[in-house]
Amino acid sequence: KTTKGKNAIGVEMTVDGQYAGMFQYNAGNGRSIVELAPAFQGKGLGKTLILKGIYTAVMAGLDYVEDESRTQAFDNAMNSLSDAGYIVNDEDYWYVTGEGEDYLNQIV
């Protein structure tokens, strides 16, 4: 489920009807918030949620800039997505690649 506000987006993830987590991005202050329910941690769902969040932000016309107050877990997920070729950093703006979009289409 996705929502869009002025300069902001939100993505909520459910798995088998259960709330699994959410991603929020505010382009006004460049702040990302990611929450993953404990029962769904350690399964790669956080990376999927971040990927979907970046994709949703860009598709909504927002420039996605990496949050300076990010956590180590967020950094690890971003590095993993980048290493897999699913996202790319172009002059401080992040984009989802064709491979990342294909991956999202397979799982969403």
Give residue 96's pLDDT: 95
- DSSP assignment string, the chain: -EEEETTEEEEEEEETTEEEEEEEEETTTTEEEEEE-GGGTTSSHHHHHHHHHHHHHHHTT--EE--TT--HHHHHHHHHHHHTTSEEEETTEEEE-HHHHHHHHHH-
For residue 24, give every residue at least 6 positions away whose Cβ sits within 8 Å of its Cβ, in sequence order, or none.
8, 9, 10, 11, 32, 33, 34, 53
pTM over 0.85: yes
Q: For 21-67, how does the pLDDT look when each residue is reduced to its tens digit (9 = 90+)?
A: 999 999 988 888 899 999 999 898 999 999 999 999 999 999 898 77
pLDDT band at 86 (very low <50, low <70, confident <90, very high): very high
